[in-house]
Chain A
Amino acid sequence: MKIIVLVKYVPDIEAGYQFNSARRLDRGGDGLLNQLDEYPLEQARRLAEQFGAEVVALTLGPDEAEEAVRRALQMGADSGVHVCDAAVEGSDALATALILAAAIRRLGGADLILCGAGSADATTSLIPVQLAARLQIPALTGAASLTVQDGAVEIRRDLDAWSLQLAAPLPALVSVNDKTGEPAYPSAKAVMLARKKPVESLDLADIGVDPAAVGAGGAKVEVASITPAPARAGGQILDSESDDVVAAFVALLQANALI
C-alpha cells in the first residue's frame, strides 16, 4: 500500500507574520508544519505499522516549506516531495489543487491520499475535495476515525446531530480532523533517521503544469486589503480574594442590558 500525506508549511501565527505589498503572505518568516497535518501523518504512521505501507509526504510551497516535509519525515513518512516554483506565488485554492493533483499523478498516484482538516493560515478546507475531484477518486472528509480493510477505507464523520459511517473503495482521498488521535512525539532516534530520508524537489515543468494557469495571474480571487483585527484591549482584572467580583460581573451584565 502507498500513502501520500499532504502537508502544508504555514507561518507561526503566534510568532507574528507579515503580508507583503502585493497583499500576499510573506512565506519567508517563521514557519512550521501545519499542526492539523500532524493528524493525517499519525494515521499514516499507524497504517504503515499495520500494513507495512510506504508513506510519502508531499508539500507545495516556498523554499522554507521543506521544513514541513522534514518534520513529516521525523513523524514517520519514508520520503518527501517538495513542489517549489516561483510561478506558484499568489495561487488560489483552485490552482493549488491543480498543482497538487499534477504532482500526485507524476508520483504515480497512491492507494490512499491523506489530508488535514484545514490550514492554520487560510483554513478554507477547499483543497481536499477539489483534489479528489481532479484525480477522479472518491473523497471521505472530516474523518474523526479511520480504518482500512479489504481494499476499502471507512470513516466516521460527526455532524452536529448525526454521526455518519462512510466507506469508499481504494484509491481514495480522506481528510482527517483532530479527533483521530494525538500524534506521537518523534523519538530522538526518529529525528536522526529522518535526516537520511530522501526529499525530491520538483518544479512546475517537472509535473507538467503551465505556469500561466496558476499563481497570481491565474487566480480568480483578488485580495483588496488586509487589516489587523481590532485590538481587544484587556479590561479590568479583579482578584476574587480581595475584590467583590460578583458585584462587578452583575454590574457588567446590567450596563450592557444582558439581563
Chain B
Amino acid sequence: MSDILTLLDDPAREAERLAFAGAIGRPVGVRLAGGPELAARPGTVAAALATLAVERDAAAVLLPQGLFGAEVAALLALRLGAAAITDVVAIDPDLTATKPIMAGTAFSRARVTGGLAIFTVQPGLEAPPLAEPAEVVELAPPAAAAGEDRVAVLGLTPRAASGGRPDLLSAEIIVSAGRGTGGDLGPVEQLADALGAAVGASRAAVDAGWVDPSLQVGQTGKTVSPRLYVAAGISGAIQHQAGMRGAGLIVAVNEDPEAPIFEIADLGIVGDLGEVLPAAAAAVRAL
C-alpha cells in the first residue's frame, strides 16, 4: 500500500486526519516544527513535504482545508508538476475526490491524473479508527523558500478566545447570530449555553463588530457541518448558506416569513428572536 502523507498541524485533529488517510492507503503523519508564523511560509512547508513525498513515492498528500493548506497544496503542486484538489469531503480508494462547488449548490467528483495527488480536506470527516498506530515523521522546516525569505514577520498578536464554548468546527450544535440580533448577543448565548453549543455568526454580525471574525460562517468564513444549526436573525444569503447548508438539521428564527433561510430550514420559526430564544433556552434547561 502506498504512503498517504497527512500534515498534522492541529493536535486536536491528529487522530481524525490519520484515520482519514488510513481509509485510502498507509497513513503517515507529518509534524512540522514551527509556530503560527508558519502560516506565512507555505512554500517552505511545501518544500519539506515535496522532499518527503518523493523519497517515499507517496500516492497522496492531505492538507488542512483553509488558506494555509490551499497555499501549501498550490506550491507543492507547482514544485512537483502535480495537481491539487481543494476542500474535499470524501476520497475513494482510487483517489477520486468529492467536493462542494458553486457555493455548496453542487458536488464534483474529480481525480488527479498521473503523479502525486494533493488534497485539502475539510475537518470533522468520519473514518474508521486505525487498527494500529500510524507512523509519524517529525520534520524540521528547511530554510525559507525563494520569495518567502523576503517576507518579514513584524508582529504576532494573540486574538480573543471563544469564552470556553466548543470549537465551531467540532461542535454538534451551533447557534448563529445575524444582524437581526441588533448587537444583543444575550439570547443567542443563552440558547447556546443551554444546549452546550458553539456560537457562530453571519458576516453582517461580524462586520458590525458584535462577534469575533473567527466565528463567521460562510463563503469567507468557516464551513461547518454540525448536527444542528440554529440561525437566529440571519436572512440566509447564498454566501452564508455556502458555509452551513451541510448541517444535519437547520432551525431558523426570523421575523420575516419571506427570509430565504426558511427555504432550507427543517424547522422555521417566524418570530422575534429576543423572545423565542430565551424561552427555548429555559425549556431546554428545564428538561
Q: Which residues of A contact B (CB under 8 A)?
A: 11, 13-14, 17, 23, 36, 92-94, 97, 117-118, 120-127, 129-130, 132-134, 136-142, 144, 154, 157-169, 172, 177-179, 219-229, 232, 234-241, 245-250, 252-253, 256, 258-259
A140 and B268 contact, CB distance less than 8 A: no
Contacts of A179 in B (CB 8 A): 207, 213
What are 19 A-B pairs at a CB distance below 8 A?
A13-B238, A122-B101, A124-B87, A130-B74, A133-B75, A134-B78, A138-B148, A140-B40, A159-B36, A160-B214, A162-B36, A168-B151, A221-B83, A224-B96, A228-B107, A237-B262, A238-B268, A239-B271, A245-B271
B276 and A240 contact, CB distance less than 8 A: yes
Contacts of B101 in A (CB 8 A): 121-123, 226
| Shortest Cβ gap from A112 to chain B (Å) | 14
Question: Which A residue sits closest to B77, measured CB to CB?
Answer: A94
Q: How far is the CA of A138 from the CA of B144 in the complex (A)?
A: 12
Shortest 10 CB-CB contacts between residues of A and residues of B: A240-B271, A165-B155, A220-B83, A235-B266, A237-B268, A126-B74, A232-B264, A165-B154, A162-B36, A125-B70
Partner of A220, one of B113, B245, B250, B263: B113
Q: How far is the CA of A138 from the CA of B148 in the complex (A)?
A: 6
B83 and A94 contact, CB distance less than 8 A: yes
A229 and B107 contact, CB distance less than 8 A: yes
Q: How far is the CA of A241 from the CA of B257 in the complex (A)?
A: 12
Q: A179-B213, A259-B195 are in contact. Are A166 and B107 (CB under 8 A)?
A: no
Question: Which A residue sits closest to B278, measured CB to CB?
Answer: A246
B152 and A235 contact, CB distance less than 8 A: no
Question: Which B residue sits closest to A256, measured CB to CB?
Answer: B249
Q: A13-B103, A36-B220, A178-B203 are in contact. Are A164 and B153 (CB under 8 A)?
A: yes
A258 and B213 contact, CB distance less than 8 A: no
Q: How far is the CA of A141 from the CA of B82 in the complex (A)?
A: 22
Which of B23-31, B133-141, B279-287 has 4 or more CB atoms under 8 Å from chain A? B279-287
Q: Which residues of B contact A (CB under 8 A)?
A: 36-37, 39-40, 42-43, 67, 70-71, 73-75, 77-78, 81-87, 96, 100-115, 146-148, 150-159, 161, 172-173, 195, 203, 207, 213-214, 219-220, 227-228, 238, 245, 248-251, 257, 262-272, 275-276, 279-280, 283-284, 287
| Shortest Cβ gap from B226 to chain A (Å) | 10
B105 and A228 contact, CB distance less than 8 A: yes
| Shortest Cβ gap from A36 to chain B (Å) | 7
Q: A166-B153, A238-B269, A256-B228 are in contact. Are A250 and B84 (CB under 8 A)?
A: no
A125 and B108 contact, CB distance less than 8 A: no
Q: How far is the CA of A139 from the CA of B81 in the complex (A)?
A: 20
A220 and B276 contact, CB distance less than 8 A: no
Contacts of A138 in B (CB 8 A): 147-148, 150-151
Q: How far is the CA of A37 from the CA of B81 in the complex (A)?
A: 28
Q: How far is the CA of A255 from the CA of B242 in the complex (A)?
A: 27
A137 and B107 contact, CB distance less than 8 A: no
Question: Which B residue sits closest to A35, measured CB to CB?
Answer: B239
A158 and B213 contact, CB distance less than 8 A: yes
Q: How far is the CA of A252 from the CA of B104 in the complex (A)?
A: 25
Q: How far is the CA of A245 from the CA of B214 in the complex (A)?
A: 31
Partner of A94, one of B78, B100, B213, B283: B78
